Structure 1
Amino acid sequence: MENLIRKNIQNLVAYKVDAPQYEIIVNANESPYDFPMILKRKFTDEICNTDLNRYPEACFPELLKALSDYTGIPTDGIICGSGSDELIAMINQAFVNPGDVVVSHSPSFDMYNIWANISDSRHIRVPDLPGHLPDVDGLIKAACDNQAKLLYLCNPNNPTGYIFPKQDIIKILDAVPSLVVLDEAYIEFFGESGVDLLANYPRLLILRTLSKAFGLAGIRCGYALGNKPVIDVLYKVKAPYNLNVLTQKLAVLALQNRDKTLKNLAEIKSEREKVMAVLKEFPNLTVYPSGSNFIYFETPLAEKIYEALLSRNILIKRFKETGTCPESIRFSMGKPKENQKILEIIREVVYNEA
């Protein structure tokens, strides 16, 4: 059997995620607020009037129209996928040959590396500068020296929360030969998108999702914005019915009712600032600025904090030490009472160890 498996897949560790069964879950950057009940009821009525024995719309025209209204990008400049994950897979399938180079800053979203490995490409990860500032010149050099096919920019970045200034994005676009993938999964928490750059940069592709700010991680709906020639290439590798009818209808409902689905943005950002202010007062924690719905901090107490929270039925994200990063924690914003409870436990650990 082993000789039948592609060599680059044999040593690949499967990305398996166990269903979390915890009282408080702040490990996956999800919204702590569920989809509004009034819209759930409307969705239920729509599904009762939908023929589920038929395949869904293969090119999701109603969803593209709703996304166009939201982003200002024409429908022929948009493609949808089952979360950003599927879109990253499609990008690799369409553009990357075995042996090609893919560049990203590091640390960043794991799926860039996973799909680089699956596509049998060479992934160059450019470590952040001190203070978790991406090495813009290093990224440009890596992409140019290696004629990289793809260059990923995660903005705001997961897991560090860093924001790329617009001038740095432009500097990279002006310099590299690559398709630049600007991942804006968390852009609603920051606000300054790179969508306006699409008009002048044909090799720019922007990834978005409804999983974060819209609170719809459960329906798996992501989308990419780009110029028509790039989007047309992605349609060549898209599965015919990659978004089921339930996902499409719920996504349209969310986009058409943005006043309801995005109403908690201000509170989440306010909680982020409050929690960050408290964490900065604790010893042995290095807290970094964030433009997202989570906070990232490095600490030698990461394992003890993680275990203490786990023992209280709370799941947070812990990163083990690597060659370039010390032990760290990513803390997704929960509801105010949840955040307060987590802070109390972190305080206990920090001051017991001081």
Structure 2
Amino acid sequence: MGYELNEKIRDLKPYDPISGDFPVRLDANESFIQVPQKILQKISDAVLSIPYNRYPDPLAKELCESFGNYYHLNSGLVTAGNGSDELISVICSAFLMKGDTMLTMSPDFSMYRFYASIAEAKAELYYKKPDMTIDVDKLIAMANSSNAKLVIFSNPCNPTSLGLKREDVRRLVTSVNALVVLDEAYMDFWDESLLDEVVSYDNLIILRTCSKAFAMAGIRLGFAVANRELTNAMKAVKSPYNVNTLTQKAGFVILQEGQWLRSCIEEVKASRDMLYERMSILESNYAQRMHVYPSVTNFLFVKISQADDVYYQLVKSGIAVRYFGDFLRITAGTKEENEKFLLAFEKAIRL
């Protein structure tokens, strides 16, 4: 009798991002900014000092201190992970019991539901309004009526590019009995974070990533911030040596470069604003065909008729964006990348 996979993983497919050689990649919400040579040299020097025969620091103390210094936080409340994804996985597997209910939203980051399924939890969905905004009162009511043990969502939202203001998030956190996981992966591009008051709540974990604003997608580095009790639990349930020494060293060096990091954020926001302005002009010319949502992230979210045709026309032009049924998500790129996209996009919607 042969071995059979259990039902929760039997039909799963590996995550499959857009593959292929695209001259213009605007699909993954990465930063288009390259780390300058002088900082790369600092990373190289730091990497040369690594004792490769030893395990990494299990608590990534030096790295967490640099993160805390950048955001003016107590580093003792910071947990490092292999990108936010690992931390989401840890939270779902540790803070949810089999059969518990987790509440998230639609549309939102799809991996939340995936990790809940692996934890054998039930994922309930709150469906956003047609304009992609959130009725916080209805969300609170749904969390409480479903007896949700965990509420998780991205703010600002991936993929809608919209954000929920600080006072609304506060109201949610203080009105539910659940643990609230606030994924602030794109908050460096906005100013409505709860990071500086996270210690005030006993049911809040905030996630941050270095993949969007800080040009470090390649080293897979994320952080969770919470009060002392939740942080101690996070550090107890994560893998002992989860963040490798190379990532710790590279992250430590880059997080020291506050002035450069802030300039990166402003450069990305300028690119996004340019792209939004130009896409808004196209919307005025093709009002029956498309709608561009306002953005507080590093990407645009566009509703468009026959989005699949437009997507495939862009692919033929060597431009990768993210396809979501009736929507496209376009990451802000360099000026040249934006121009190439705009030219190909307008050509595609004319067909």
Does the TM-score normalized on the shorter chain lie above 0.5? yes
Name the aligned partner's letter for residue 220 of structure 1.
R
Partners of 2:133 and 2:7 in 1: CA distance: 35
Alignment-derived partner of residue 208 in structure 1: 208
Partners of 2:55 and 2:18 in 1: CA distance: 30
Name the aligned partner's letter for residue 104 of structure 1.
T
Question: Does the Cα contact within 8 Å between 2:93 and 2:115 map onto a contact in 1?
Answer: no
Offset of 1:278 from its aligned partner? 1.9
Partners of 2:156 and 2:310 in 1: CA distance: 25
Q: 3-state DSSP class of the match of 1:269?
A: helix
Moved more, 78-87 or 228-237: 228-237
Q: Which runs of 4+ in 1 moved over 4 A?
A: 1-4
Question: Does the Cα contact within 8 Å between 1:153 and 1:181 map onto a contact in 2?
Answer: yes
Partners of 1:265 and 1:134 in 2: CA distance: 26
Post-superposition Cα deviations, 1:278-306, rounded to whole Å, max 9, x if no partner, equal 21233111111110000001111311221
Name the aligned partner's letter for residue 319 of structure 1.
F
Counterpart check, 1:25 vs 2:25:
yes
Partners of 1:270 and 1:2 in 2: CA distance: 58
- Trace 1:48-87 onto structure 2 (pairs within 5 A): 48-87=48-87
Residues 1:20 and 1:245: Cα distance change in structure 2 (over 3 Å): farther
Q: 3-state DSSP class of the match of 1:151?
A: strand
- Trace 1:146-185 onto structure 2 (pairs within 5 A): 146-185=146-185
Offset of 1:137 from its aligned partner? 2.2
Moved more, 44-53 or 9-18: 9-18
Offset of 1:19 from its aligned partner? 4.9
Residues 1:4 and 1:259: Cα distance change in structure 2 (over 3 Å): same
Offset of 1:216 from its aligned partner? 0.2
Alignment-derived partner of residue 186 in structure 2: 186
Offset of 1:140 from its aligned partner? 1.0
Question: Does the Cα contact within 8 Å between 2:47 and 2:246 map onto a contact in 1?
Answer: yes
Counterpart check, 1:244 vs 2:249:
no
Partners of 1:149 and 1:35 in 2: CA distance: 40
Alignment-derived partner of residue 103 in structure 2: 103
Name the aligned partner's letter for residue 341 of structure 1.
K
Question: Does the Cα contact within 8 Å between 1:8 and 1:117 map onto a contact in 2?
Answer: yes
Q: 3-state DSSP class of the match of 2:322?
A: strand
Name the aligned partner's letter for residue 155 of structure 2.
N
Offset of 1:269 from its aligned partner? 1.1
Name the aligned partner's letter for residue 302 of structure 2.
F
Offset of 1:261 from its aligned partner? 3.3
Q: 3-state DSSP class of the match of 1:286?
A: strand
Partners of 2:98 and 2:16 in 1: CA distance: 24
Offset of 1:3 from its aligned partner? 6.2
Moved more, 41-50 or 25-34: 41-50
Question: Does the Cα contact within 8 Å between 1:105 and 1:135 map onto a contact in 2?
Answer: no
Question: Does the Cα contact within 8 Å between 1:76 and 1:228 map onto a contact in 2?
Answer: yes
Post-superposition Cα deviations, 1:73-108, rounded to whole Å, max 9, x if no partner, equal 212211011000000011012111111101112100
Offset of 1:152 from its aligned partner? 1.2
Alignment-derived partner of residue 297 in structure 1: 302
Offset of 1:335 from its aligned partner? 0.1
The root-mean-square deviation of aligned C-alpha atoms, in Å, is 1.6
Residues 1:29 and 1:2: Cα distance change in structure 2 (over 3 Å): farther
Alignment-derived partner of residue 120 in structure 2: 120
Partners of 2:192 and 2:258 in 1: CA distance: 18
User: Runs of 5+ in structure 1 lacking a partner?
Assistant: 321-326
Residues 1:147 and 1:306: Cα distance change in structure 2 (over 3 Å): same
Alignment-derived partner of residue 130 in structure 1: 130
Question: Does the Cα contact within 8 Å between 1:28 and 1:332 map onto a contact in 2?
Answer: yes
Offset of 1:212 from its aligned partner? 0.7
Alignment-derived partner of residue 342 in structure 2: 343
Name the aligned partner's letter for residue 309 of structure 2.
K
Question: Does the Cα contact within 8 Å between 2:23 and 2:319 map onto a contact in 1?
Answer: yes
Moved more, 168-177 or 278-287: 278-287
Residues 1:248 and 1:12: Cα distance change in structure 2 (over 3 Å): same
Question: Does the Cα contact within 8 Å between 1:127 and 1:135 map onto a contact in 2?
Answer: no
TM-score by length of 1: 0.94
Partners of 1:296 and 1:141 in 2: CA distance: 28
Partners of 2:256 and 2:178 in 1: CA distance: 35
Partners of 2:18 and 2:279 in 1: CA distance: 29
Q: 3-state DSSP class of the match of 2:182?
A: strand
Post-superposition Cα deviations, 1:200-232, rounded to whole Å, max 9, x if no partner, equal 211011000111100000000000000010011
Partners of 1:197 and 1:134 in 2: CA distance: 22
Counterpart check, 1:308 vs 2:308:
no
Offset of 1:49 from its aligned partner? 2.4
Q: 3-state DSSP class of the match of 2:9?
A: helix
Moved more, 99-108 or 44-53: 44-53
Offset of 1:259 from its aligned partner? 1.4
Number of residue pairs the alignment of both structures matches? 346
Moved more, 17-26 or 281-290: 17-26
Question: Does the Cα contact within 8 Å between 2:46 and 2:250 map onto a contact in 1?
Answer: no
Residues 1:9 and 1:135: Cα distance change in structure 2 (over 3 Å): farther
TM-score by length of 2: 0.94
Partners of 2:242 and 2:199 in 1: CA distance: 28
